[in-house]
Amino acid sequence: MKGADHRIKQKEAGFSKSKVDLSGEVGTYTLAIIKPHAVAKGHVHDITERIKMSGFSIKDSKFVHLSTEEAEEFYAIHSGQEFFERLTMSMTSGPLAALILEKHDAVRSFRALIGATNPAEAADDTLRKQFGESTVLNALHGSDSDQNALREVNFFFTDSGSADQK
Ligand code: RTP
Ligand code: MG
């Protein structure tokens, strides 16, 4: 999948203050979230160091405090699930850190790094095992497909996205 159709728009945003040119092939990028409870516990530095040590480049990053409507839109696929309200409440409880990550096979590789949804079932060397507290408070999100990576990057990092920097 090559060409302009698959390019992610440039955006000047985040604490890096750099213009990001995400012009590579889809499959090279994923959208990561350090969830609010992990931000509140002061884990951002330790988590981003683990991410970089695992071979990812952080192309852009920003702190965002989602509204309820934005959290419901981001996790719309889970609307109606019994955990949905707990999930949206946790995602709006404070600022989260959204990160655009670059690496070969980024989507699959990052989901391997974060581990199983339930931290109790996650492998020992995974981020959710180290920083997760429960299935809802599992510290990290990672896009689950290239298509969703593009949608989620646009959600956080383009002018037309739903969640611009607060
Ligand atoms: P994520 O989307 O956050 O990267 O997580 P995931 O793919 O591993 O899991 P998914 O099924 O997409 O669920 C999204 C988030 O909802 C919360 N959850 N709670 N039974 C439960 O209590 C339950 N199931 C899911 C988790 O926070 C999960 O990350
Ligand atoms: Mg998911």
The reported pLDDT for the residue numbered 158 is 81
Instruction: Supply the DSSP symbol for 116.
Output: -
Q: What is the pLDDT of residues 62-118, one digit of tens each?
A: 999 999 999 999 999 999 999 999 999 999 999 999 999 999 999 999 999 999 999
CATH number, domain containing residue 127: 3.30.70.141
Q: Whose C-alpha lies nearest to ligand 1, atom 8?
A: 117
Closest CA to 85 of 74, 72, 104: 72
List phi, psi (to 5°) of 43: -95, 0
In 3D, which of 149, 158, 166 has the Cα closest to residue 10?
158
* 13 lies in some domain: no
Please tell me the distance between residue 112's alpha carbon and the centre of ligand 2 in angstroms.
13
Å from CA of 136 to ligand 2 middle? 11
Minimum-distance ligand to the CA of 71? Answer: 1
Q: Mean pLDDT, the chain, as a whole number?
A: 86
* DSSP string across 39-69: HHTT-HHHHHHHHHHTT-EEEEEEEE---HH
6: in domain = no
Ligand 1 pocket residues where CB is under 6 Å:
78, 83, 87, 117, 135-136, 138, 141-142, 144
Between the alpha carbon of residue 31 and those of residues 82, 102, 109, 110, the distances in Å are 25, 9, 12, 9
Contacts of 112 (CB under 8 A, 6+ apart): 126
20 within domain boundaries: no
Q: Which domain, by its residues, includes 108?
A: 25-157
Distance (angstroms) between ligand 2 centre and the Cα of 18 equals: 28
Q: Is residue 138 part of a domain?
A: yes
141 catalytic? Reply is yes
pTM of the full predicted structure? 0.86
- The pick from 37, 92, 138, 145 for probing ligand 1's pocket by mutation, whose C-beta has the most ligand atoms within 8 angstroms, reads 138
Residue 12 is predicted with a pLDDT of 32
